[in-house]
Chains A and B, each alone.
Chain A
Amino acid sequence: MLIKMNNVFKTYVLGEVKVPALHAISLNLEDNEYVAIMGPSGSGKSTLMNIMGCLDTPTTGTYYLGRKDVSSLNDNQLSDIRNTKIGFVFQTFNLLPRSSALRNVELPLIYSGMPSLKRKQLAMDVLERVGLNDRMMHKSNELSGGERQRVAIARALVNKPSLILADEPTGNLDSKTGEEIIEIMQRLHEHGNTIILVTHEEYIAKQTKRIIRLRDGVIESDEKKI
C-alpha cells in the first residue's frame, strides 16, 4: 500500500471564517496506480494533492505514505520526503526562467546532495526520456509551453519518486500539446510509475485506470477500471 488516508479533514482558517476544503476523505492507493482526480473548481482537488505530496498536513485524520505517518513529521522530514519520494508537475510549470532546462532538472538532486557529475548525467538521461535531448542547454523561458511542461516532468522524475503528482498539467497547454503530455504520463505509468493527475477533461481521465470525483471536499465517486 502506497497511500492510506483515513478520515482526513482539512480546514483553512481565514481570520474568523473557517473554510472547509476536505471532509472525511478516506482513500487507499497501491503502487503503480494511474489515477485521475476530477471535480469542479474549489472542490478540494489541489488541497488533496498538496496533502498527498506532503506540502501540507491534514487538520485531522491520518495519512500514511508508505509506512510513514506524515502527520507526525517535522518540516525537515517533510522536505526530505518531497525530495526523495514525490515528483510534482504543476499547471504553471514553475521552472526557474533564466536557468537552463538541465539546471532545472538538476535542482531536486542538488538538495539531496548528489555530486555534480552524477547529477548532470541523471538529469540528461531523464531529459532524453521526455524527448528534449536537443533542448538541454536552452533557458526555460526560451522553450515552448509543451517543452516547459516536459522539463517539469523530467524534474519530477529525476529523483525516481514513488509518486508523481500532476495538478492540471495540461491546463495551460493547447489540446494537441496536452495530449503529448498525457502520452508521456501514459508511458511513465507503463514503466511502473505511480501517477495521480488532476484534470477537467473527461477524455484524459478515460485514459487512466481510476477516477476519483470530488465535490465540496467529499469523495463523490471512486471508480476503478478493470
Chain B
Amino acid sequence: MTTSTGDAVRGALTGAIGSERVRDAEEGDTVGGVRPRWVASVATTEQAASAMSAAAEHGLRVVPRGSGSKIDWGAPPEAVDLVLDLSQAGGVLEHAAGDLVLHARAGTPLDEVRRVAADAGQQLSIDQPLPTATVGGVIATGTTGPGRHLYGAVRDLLIGITVVRPDGVVTISGGKVVKNVAGYDLGKLYTGSHGTLGVITEAIFRLHPVAEQHRWISVTLDEPAAAGEAVRVVRSSQAMPTAVELERAGTTGPITVCAQIEGRPGATHQRALELSEVLGSAVGVTGEVLDTAPEWWGEYPFDGDTGLRLGVEPSAVAALLTGAQQAAQRRGVTLRTRGSVGLGLVHAAIPEEVPPATVAELVGELRAAAAEHHGYGVVLRAPRAVLASVDPWGPIPAGVLTLMRRTKDQFDPEHRLSPGRFVGGIR
C-alpha cells in the first residue's frame, strides 16, 4: 500500500465515477460532529461499486448517506474520509403489482415508493415520519412505526437486497419472490446495521393491499396501569388491530391509547364501535372512534432532543411507563413518550435544553427500568454534548457482542465502513 495524497485520492474517485460526482465536503456533510474530506454522489449500484473500489484502494473510511435525515443517529464515527451520497441513486426499478413486490434503488424517497404503490392500491407498510427518508436509510436504521404491529418490521418486509461490499464487490441476498430460503438471509443482518457492513444500493420489498377503510379507537387515561390494561384488552381481542399506539405529551398527565383497525367500508366502522365499547368498559372510560389518525400518529416525539427507543416485553408497558415517569419526575424533566406499545416499543424524548449530565443519568435509569422487563434503551439521536457522555447503544451481553464483532471483522476487515457508529464500540 502506497501512501495516498489528497490529490491522488480525489483523482481516483474522479476517475471512478466522474469529476461532477466528487466534491470537497462542507460543514453540512458532518457526520455526528466528524467532518469528512470528500463527498461522492452516485446514481447507480455500479457507480457505488466503482466509488467503493477507489475508496478501498486508498484505505478511505466511508459513511454511506441517503437524504441525511438520520445521519446523526447512532454513535459518532471515529473518523470519516468519504461520505458516499446515495440520494441521487433513486428510482423505483420495478413494481410488480400482481406479485405485490417492489424493487427500488436505495436513494428512493420512501414517499415516492408510497406513491407508486398507492397507484395500484398497495402499500409498503413502513411508517417513517421523516419527510425525506430514503429506502436505504430506513433499512440501515431499521426504523419502526405503527403499521409494524400487523404487517411486520422492515426486516420482515425486505425480501431482497443489493449491497456493495467495502472492497467494491456487488453482492445480493434474497430475491424478488417473497418465499425464498436459498442461502443466508443477509437482508436481516443489514437491516439496522447503520452502514457498518456494506453499502445498501437496492432493495426489494413485499407490499400489502391498502384496506378500503381505516378507523382509530382511542381512549385517554390518567395512569400507566390503566393504559397497560387498555393495551392488553386491544391486543387480546379478536378485532385484529393493525396498530396499537400510545401517546403521553408530558411526564405525567393524560395517556392516550389508540388502536387502528382496517377493512372494508362499513364493517370496519362497526367493528371499531364494538372494540371501542369493549375497551371502554374494560378501563371505565368511554372510547372514541376517529375517522382520521390523531395528529401525533406515527410521528417521533423528538426532533432536536434526545430521542430514545425503549423496548420491553409487551406486558410490561405499564411498568416501563411508571418507571420512566418516576425517573423523570425525580429530575424535574419533561419526558414525552409515544410508540408501538402493542409490541412493547416506546419512543421517548428528553428536551434539548436538559443538561447532558442529567440526560445521562436519566437514560441510565430508563435503561434500568426497561431491563427489569427483558428490555433495553437505545438513544437514537441526541445533541452532541449528550453523546459525549452517553453510550447511545447501551450494554450488549459479552457472548453476543463477540459474535457481532466477528461479523463486522468478516464483512469489513479493514474497519473502513462507519467505524465506531455501532454497538459495543465495534469499529
Chains A and B come from one and the same complex: no
B interface residues, Cβ below 8 angstroms from A: none
